[in-house]
Structure 1
Amino acid sequence: MITVVGAGTGTPVAADALAGAELVVGGRRHLDAVRLPDGAERLVLGPLAPALDTIGAYVRAARPVTVLASGDPGFFGIVRALAERFGSGLLDVRPGVPSVAAAFARIGLPWDDAVVVSAHGRELRTAVNVCRAHPKVAVLTGPGAGPAELGAALGPGRILVVASALGDPVRERVERVTPAEAAARDWGTAVSVVVCLDGSRAPGGARTVAGPDARPPAWALDEAEFTHRDSMITKFEVRALALARLGPRLGDLVWDVGAGSGSVAVECARLGAAVVAVEKTADGVERIRANAAAHRVDVRVVHGAAPAALAELDDPDAVFVGGGGAELPAVVAACARRARRTVVVALAAVDRVPAARAALTGAGFSCAGVLLQSARLAPLPGEVTRLAAANPVFLLWGERPRASVEGVAQ
């Protein structure tokens, strides 16, 4: 039997959890905080694979093992690895208070509406994108992915609550800082959780389901749901297929280049992605901001012309390119060089299709596309209906080969 005990965050280790253990495994601070049974071997956790091998030797010999872990070991913790290796039937899990629960308790906020993301041993960019997209996020930190790195990546517009050494009666600290203040400090290794808050989009109301808001009940919204100029907006039929090819999801960063009204940007944000909208006209910038506010999503708007305006942006997972003009091939090529997964291009002019397609294939993408032609039901006098044809639109999409995507993700 392997007894897995959640320690720290103010949770004491019960004596019976250690009684009879012949091997006690855990981080150095957890091991130092308990009295080991006489004769028990002590194993400080480092690389996980050798530790699992040692635990396996004790399990095969039917010798009892106790593993000490932080907080709730079933929440981004060692229970997953132990269950995969030895089976859940061999585990006696005794959870402590999760560090996320402790952090929110310290600042007096509920956390059933928070998104929790781990940056411990993982890419920081996912945590950053989640913090950009959602108003209440808890980030489990790790080396190279702490408050300083998170603050530097986020920029203004958020408040970070840094919870360090949770449960330690002497060293525990809970501090509210701006991203810039977080980026300027050396936080050491005691940080447990960073809570990222966007006060302008505070979640409201009682909850039935924990976690982020559910996916919206509808997408490819009608054009009337957005402010736009002279029908200069990606029509919902086109938007529906574009969203399907972009695949925006939690943790992604999406660019909407030549955003116009920002309808694609807003829809991607509603589906959980972090979004940057690039628009060269000042009135377009204001429309995008108004549409994002109306739909209660956070869209970062960059006022400038692509491709030059893309230079300082973080690399996206997916890109939507709208509009046209002579610079379109250069814009598509610049987006394709940076996109980790896919680029979708909407074009009204048939003349521009070959150059856009060449820009995608030239960047190593596989490329496909369709001509979308639709006719909507429209009323006529006498309570009859006609078909009103919409302007045809070409939609191209390029996808990076899967092996390349997996290589970038590493």
Structure 2
Amino acid sequence: MLTVVGRDGSPLSEAAREAVESAALVMGEPGLLEGLPLAPGARTVATEDLPGALQGVDVSDQDVVLIVNGDPGHFGILRTLLEEGHAPETVPAAPLVARAFAQAGLPWEDALVVSARDGHLRQAVNACRAHPKVAVLTGPGAGPAELARALFPVTPRSFVVCENLDGPRERVVYVRPAEATTRPWNHPEVVLVLDNRHALGKQGWRSGPARAPAGWALPAEAFGEGPGLRPDVRAFVLAKLGPRVGDMVWDVESGDGSIAVECARFGAAVVAVDRDYATCERIRESVRLHGVKVAMASGDVRPTADHLPKPDAVFVGPGFTGRAGTEAVRACAALAPARIVAIASGDKAVASGDKATASGEEAREILALLAEQGFTADAVRLQASPLDPSAPPGEPVTVVWGERDARVPGRRPARRSRPIATIPALPGESEEPGIGA
């Protein structure tokens, strides 16, 4: 049979000892095979690639034991073995993350645990930007130095770097990100990335970071006085942006920072970009009011897009109009985000009666631009009217969006772009102002 045994530096449990003593072949990560109670004649193989070493080994007529660090079911080898058709017995030890937080002297039921291995460094960095307590499982090319270079100096964090946990060369080091980029590291396994102001966290009833909010599209009053997106338009935009943990979202010229705040409430890392100083101050106040993490960049996104963290989703708001709006979308689309949403607001100089025409022309330009950049693009003109007859209806807003590699299960792929659609009026209300153009 095949057994996976986790080690954490403490004496082996009775079950783990029995498995090792009866094994004909014991394979493990380097440094974990020392001091094992091996049976006479048992063979050992030290390797970093346990799944590869297991290829061709018949586990049906001999007992084989794999020795791993910590809990093999937590970002460990167990998933790979199951996918390859094995059904191993598992004897876990304390997970690396639990041991790391124990060394740091911090509770960790409210921590976000991510892996930077296997090409996920950027997502791990975004999680560290957005959350105050993150445990990052590291690997070659995704260690303390790489994390620090991505975070410093924009995101103030402290690092707890754990090397060779419970091994003979164990070391737990508290450093600032700037220092982490220059120090030599010896097999770092976990890095705790902490916002010291909130590292303790609050006691709750569930494990993991704070839950996503119960609702979105907060009322307009939640973002102070001044221009901004209506809640109904914001809800549609958020649905197309799809903010998630590990994502980097840009809120470009939304006018009130509402998209930035709402995406941050869903756990995404966010950068708000605006050219207007008063708007930047308004956004900062909203961020403080809602208690979220948003980075603020003052200036024009068109010449600075290459200097900001690479986005997964971008919103280009009504702060840009006409040709400037199309140019802003072009600059953002060139960075190949997975999702992009824009408000086609036309030209503010156009007379009121021609705004719909102006925004429609701009929307068609953006649709063509996104299709050229490899997006599946679409657009819609939204209008909502309150049930209160004394309240004025909201002006139509044209929203354009594009997705890369968009797939809907059970449906044919959409065309690259489609004409602007208008949401029809509710049944039975065609003669009264309602939802629609």
State whether TM-score is above 0.5. Answer: yes
Cα separation, 2, equivalents of 1:203 and 1:392? 47
Cα separation, 1, equivalents of 2:200 and 2:401? 35
Q: How much does 1:203 deviate?
A: 6.2
Q: 1:267-282 maps to which residues of 2 (within 5 A)? A: 267-282=262-277
Match of 2:218 among 217, 221, 245: 221
Q: Which segment drifts farther, 39-48 or 367-376? A: 39-48
- Retained in 1: the 8 A contact 2:50–2:66? no
Aligned match of 2:240: 245
Aligned match of 2:282: 287
Asked if 1:397 is matched to 2:395, the reply is: no
Aligned match of 2:145: 148
**C-alpha distance 202-162 of structure 1, shift in aligned 2 (>3 A):** closer
Q: How much does 1:49 deviate?
A: 4.2
- Retained in 1: the 8 A contact 2:71–2:95? yes
Asked if 1:159 is matched to 2:161, the reply is: no
Alpha-carbon deviations, 1:71-114, whole Å to 9, x = none? 11111111111222234xx4221111111101111111111000
Asked if 1:298 is matched to 2:293, the reply is: yes
Aligned match of 1:36: 38
Aligned match of 2:413: none
State percent identity of aligned pairs.
44
Letter in 1 for 2:369: A
Asked if 1:235 is matched to 2:226, the reply is: no
Alpha-carbon deviations, 1:169-226, whole Å to 9, x = none? x4222122111111122213x2111001113444643211101111110101111111
Alpha-carbon deviations, 1:334-362, whole Å to 9, x = none? 11111331110012321422322232122
**C-alpha distance 377-177 of structure 1, shift in aligned 2 (>3 A):** farther
Aligned match of 2:135: 138
- Retained in 2: the 8 A contact 1:220–1:239? yes
Alpha-carbon deviations, 1:335-391, whole Å to 9, x = none? 11113311100123214223222321221212101000001234xxxxxx5453011
Matched residue SS, 2:301: coil
Alpha-carbon deviations, 1:127-181, whole Å to 9, x = none? 101101111000000000000000000113111111111112x422212211111
Aligned match of 2:18: 16
Matched residue SS, 2:33: helix
Match of 1:358 among 361, 368, 375: 368
**C-alpha distance 161-202 of structure 1, shift in aligned 2 (>3 A):** closer
- Retained in 2: the 8 A contact 1:158–1:198? yes
Cα separation, 2, equivalents of 1:304 and 1:348? 20
- Retained in 2: the 8 A contact 1:377–1:388? no
Matched residue SS, 2:6: strand
Asked if 1:4 is matched to 2:14, the reply is: no
Match of 1:198 among 195, 220, 223: 195
Q: How many residues align?
A: 388
Asked if 1:262 is matched to 2:257, the reply is: yes
**C-alpha distance 20-204 of structure 1, shift in aligned 2 (>3 A):** closer
Give the strand-richer structure, 1 or 2. Answer: 1
Q: TM-score, normalising length from structure 2? A: 0.84
Give the helix-richer structure, 1 or 2. Answer: 1
Aligned match of 2:106: 109
Aligned match of 1:368: 378
Matched residue SS, 2:113: strand
- Retained in 2: the 8 A contact 1:9–1:97? no
- Retained in 2: the 8 A contact 1:302–1:309? no
Cα separation, 1, equivalents of 2:34 and 2:376? 55
- Retained in 2: the 8 A contact 1:336–1:360? yes
Cα separation, 1, equivalents of 2:380 and 2:35? 64
Matched residue SS, 1:58: coil
Asked if 1:319 is matched to 2:319, the reply is: no
- Retained in 2: the 8 A contact 1:9–1:70? no
Aligned match of 2:333: 336
**After the TM superposition, which segments of 4 or more aligned residues of structure 1 sit over 4 Å from their partners?**
none
Cα separation, 2, equivalents of 1:85 and 1:51? 13
Asked if 1:94 is matched to 2:91, the reply is: yes
Q: How much does 1:48 deviate?
A: 4.5
Alpha-carbon deviations, 1:39-92, whole Å to 9, x = none? 2221223435432324xx3223x21111111011111111111222234xx422
Matched residue SS, 1:375: coil
Cα separation, 1, equivalents of 2:386 and 2:281? 30
Aligned match of 2:434: none
Give unmatched runs, 5+ long, in structure 2. Answer: 347-358, 408-437
Letter in 2 for 1:182: A
Asked if 1:208 is matched to 2:230, the reply is: no
Q: How much does 1:255 deviate?
A: 0.8
Letter in 1 for 2:177: P
Q: Which segment drifts farther, 267-276 or 34-43? A: 34-43
**C-alpha distance 185-279 of structure 1, shift in aligned 2 (>3 A):** same
Aligned match of 1:174: 172
Cα separation, 1, equivalents of 2:345 and 2:396? 7
Letter in 1 for 2:59: V
- Retained in 2: the 8 A contact 1:121–1:143? no
- Retained in 1: the 8 A contact 2:28–2:46? yes
- Retained in 1: the 8 A contact 2:110–2:202? no
